[in-house]
């Protein structure tokens, strides 16, 4: 899996920074960060989420096994479930709480918003430099 978003338009016109931002690596690492934030909030609310589970999740934010995720997606026919399972393989202690109480839209929509915000910050920075 590439660390840059690939399309003819990106290859011709996007900056490296923007291509990295919209890459699969960035997207799915952000999903994992959302699951960590969810687990932290649930722990604060008194749900049975441990510091060890959260630490295990944090330790594996960026080491995504895209081949395993693809296998799980073929089995589950669901991208979010596939990545929950792939995350659970590297963070087995946290597996029971990785998506606890959430919908698929929790990670997909929040990730889109986070990446859009980051993209706008890149554009704002470049606009300020031009001005």
CA 27 from chain centre, in angstroms, equals 5
pLDDT digits (tens, 9 = 90+) for 26-50: 999 999 999 999 999 999 999 999 9
User: Splitting the chain (131 residues) into consecutive groups of 10 residues, what average pLDDT does each group show?
Assistant: 67 86 96 98 98 98 97 98 98 98 98 98 94 90
What is the pTM assigned to this prediction? 0.91
Q: What is the DSSP string of 39-105?
A: HHHHHHTT-S--HHHHHHHHTTSS---HHHHHHHHHHHS-HHHHHHHHHHHH-TTTGGGTTTT--HH
Q: Are the beta carbons of 36 and 57 closer than 8 angstroms?
A: yes
Neighbouring residues of 50: CB distance < 8 A, sequence distance ≥ 6: 43, 93
Specify the pLDDT at position 9.
74
């Amino acid at each position: 899996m590439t660390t840059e978003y690939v399309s003819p338009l990106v290859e011709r016109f996007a900056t490296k920074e923007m291509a990295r931002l919209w890459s699969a690596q960035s997207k799915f690492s952000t999903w994992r960060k959302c699951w960590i934030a969810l687990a932290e909030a649930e722990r604060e609310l008194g749900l049975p989420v441990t510091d060890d589970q959260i630490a295990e999740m944090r330790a594996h934010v960026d080491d995504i096994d895209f081949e395993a995720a693809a296998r799980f997606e073929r089995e589950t026919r669901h991208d979010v479930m596939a990545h929950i399972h792939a995350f659970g393989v590297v963070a087995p202690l946290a597996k029971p709480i990785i998506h606890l109480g959430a919908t698929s839209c929790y990670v997909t929509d929040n990730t889109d918003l986070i990446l859009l915000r980051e993209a706008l910050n890149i554009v704002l920075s470049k606009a300020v430099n031009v001005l």
